[in-house]
Amino acid sequence: MKTEFVIIGGGLSGLYAAYLLEQQGKDYILLEGRNRLGGRIYTEDQFDMGPSWFWPDMHPRITQLIDELHLPVFPQHDKGAFLFDKYENKAPLRYESGYAGSPPSMRVAGGMQTVIDGIKTKLTDEHIICNAKATHVEYYAEHSAEHQDRYSIVTAEINGATQTIQTRQVIFAMPLRLLANSIKFTPALPKQVQNKFAATATWMAAHAKFFAVYDTPFWRETGLSGSASSQVGPLAEIHDASTIDATNSATSSGNGALFGFVGIDAHTRQSAGNELIKSLAVKQLVRMYGEQAAQPIDVKLVDWSQKILTATDADKNAPSAHPHYGLRDIHSALIPVNQQGWYFAGTESAEENGGYIEGALEAAEMVMSRVKL
Ligand SMILES: Cc1cc2nc3c(=O)[nH]c(=O)nc-3n(C[C@H](O)[C@H](O)[C@H](O)COP(=O)(O)OP(=O)(O)OC[C@H]3O[C@@H](n4cnc5c(N)ncnc54)[C@H](O)[C@@H]3O)c2cc1C
């Protein structure tokens, strides 16, 4: 195969780069290692196992993209009392004043996956290859008296078979640490670049998200918002995750749901196993929200630290604060790498909004301003 651009990674950043290339009428192939697009954006039955929120006051790119795709949005439900779960054998403390997020966060009806599905409709199907894991990128510069030819050969496992693609420019749109860990570069990346990538924590890769789905958001009937924090666990931070059409009426077509970030570290989660965590999480919800929480119609748990196309072993240890992302500090080391036609997108490459979905778009835009169109 031969093409002008190869994009490695079909998360939001890679897909947005594809969208921008498509708008310019460029030839490209996007390789996605999983059998689905979206990467950390992953919605099961309208429930966002990855990102749920965007913040219009802070994040203009994603706000505009959602608008462009005509996707309905709704505010995160936070009206009502907030619970603080401090003691294992006592009812949680209840704060009637509630806790409103600031700036206000918004959700996408049907889940964040609809953004991915929306972008996908703008792309040419033949350009997108799933089950295609890139393993090696090799740069060639051939000089002769008549001409000079520069290109890269990308090797990928596509549906289990090794294939190569010749291309002039490669856009890497995956977590930088995973990149350093899982793709072979010939020639090797400069040491400074390798070290930077290996040291860049993949945002939220250490975390796990748990959902309990109910017929209705019954906690709203007793004046609770669903928002809570807990020092007991296993869920450390809880929010209402009901679908857009959930109401208190039993005839509603939507579902009530609560989600929580699991507060147990990745190593302990792995040895405990998902089933134990799920049952302890339901017990916690009963302690906090009452007996009605005991019979969810569904429970879901996604542990991102165990997803090998997101997290490396190093990502099992969560950073203590939001890291300062971006590649500005290795700018000069990247110049020769960019000259080879290799560029780095993915939210961890974004200078201003690294980590967020906004950063995934920012990084794709930044790369598009640098590639040769
Ligand atoms: C639990 C959780 C909650 C979050 N909450 C929020 C939130 O509320 N708001 C917010 O703004 N952000 C949130 N985030 C962060 C947000 O999900 C990311 O910023 C964004 O999705 C990153 O997109 P990306 O395209 O840069 O990377 P990714 O989504 O990680 O995409 C990388 C892609 O590359 C693929 N890939 C990896 N290796 C290879 C390979 N060798 N070959 C081919 N393909 C490969 C992967 O399968 C993946 O599809 C959350 C993340 C998580 C996990």
Q: Please tell me if the CB atom of residue 53 comes closer than 6 angstroms to any atom of ligand 1.
A: yes
pTM of the model: 0.97
Ligand 1 within 6 A of 354 CB? no
What are the C-alpha distances in Å from 277 to residues 16, 70, 138, 301? 35, 38, 43, 9
**What's the number of CA atoms in the CB half-sphere (13 Å) around residue 165?**
28
Residue nearest ligand 1's atom 6 by CA: 51
Determine the 3-state secondary structure of 13 from DSSP: helix
The finding on whether 50 has its CB within 6 A of some atom of ligand 1 is yes
Residue 143 has φ and ψ, to the nearest 5°, of: -115, 135
Distance CA(328)–CA(324), nearest Å, equals 11
C-alpha span between 242 and 186 (Å, rounded): 48
Secondary structure letter of residue 139 according to DSSP? E
Q: Looking at residue 88, what is its pLDDT?
A: 86
Nearest CA owner, ligand 1 atom 37: 309
N-term to C-term CA, the chain: 20
Q: Quote the pLDDT of residue 100.
A: 83
pLDDT score for 142: 87
Residue 95, token pair as written in the block: 């704060």
- Do 7 and 171 meet the contact criterion of CB atoms below 8 Å apart? yes
> What pLDDT shows up at residue 89?
85
Q: Ligand 1 centre from 42 Cα, in Å?
A: 9
Give the H or E element holding residue 113.
Answer: helix 113-121
Asked whether 112 lines ligand 1 (CB < 6 A), one says: no
- Cβ 211 vs Cβ 241: under 8 Å: yes
What Cα–Cα distance (Å) separates residue 77 from each residue in 179, 243, 257, 296? 37, 10, 11, 19
Query: What is the domain class of 75-109+206-306 according to CATH?
Result: alpha beta
Between the CA of 355 and the centroid of ligand 1 the distance, in Å, is 9
Domain 2-41+117-201+322-368 and domain 75-109+206-306, same fold? Reply is no
Residue 203 CA to ligand 1 center (angstroms) comes to 8
**Looking at domain 2-41+117-201+322-368, which of 3.90.1150.10, 3.30.365.10, 3.50.50.60, 3.30.1380.20 is its CATH number?**
3.50.50.60
The number of residues in the chain equals 373
pLDDT score, position 102: 85
Ligand 1 atom index nearest CA of 41: 21
Residue-level pLDDT at 143: 84
> CB of 52 closer than 6 A to ligand 1?
yes
What does the domain layout of the chain look like in residue ranges? Answer: 2-41+117-201+322-368, 75-109+206-306
Quickly count: other Cβ atoms within 10 Å of residue 304's Cβ: 21
> What is the 8-class DSSP label of residue 35?
S
Helices and strands, counts by H and E, the chain: 9, 19
Atom 4, ligand 1: residue with shortest CA distance: 51
Please, what are the averages of pLDDT over each run of 10 residues along the chain (373 residues)? 97 98 97 98 97 97 98 96 93 92 92 98 97 98 85 98 98 98 98 98 98 97 97 96 78 87 97 97 96 97 98 96 96 97 98 98 97 89
Give me ligand 1 centre to Cα 176, in Å. 11
- Shortest CA distance to 48 belongs to which of 293, 288, 280, 261? 261
Residue closest to 168 by CA, chosen among 372, 30, 319: 372
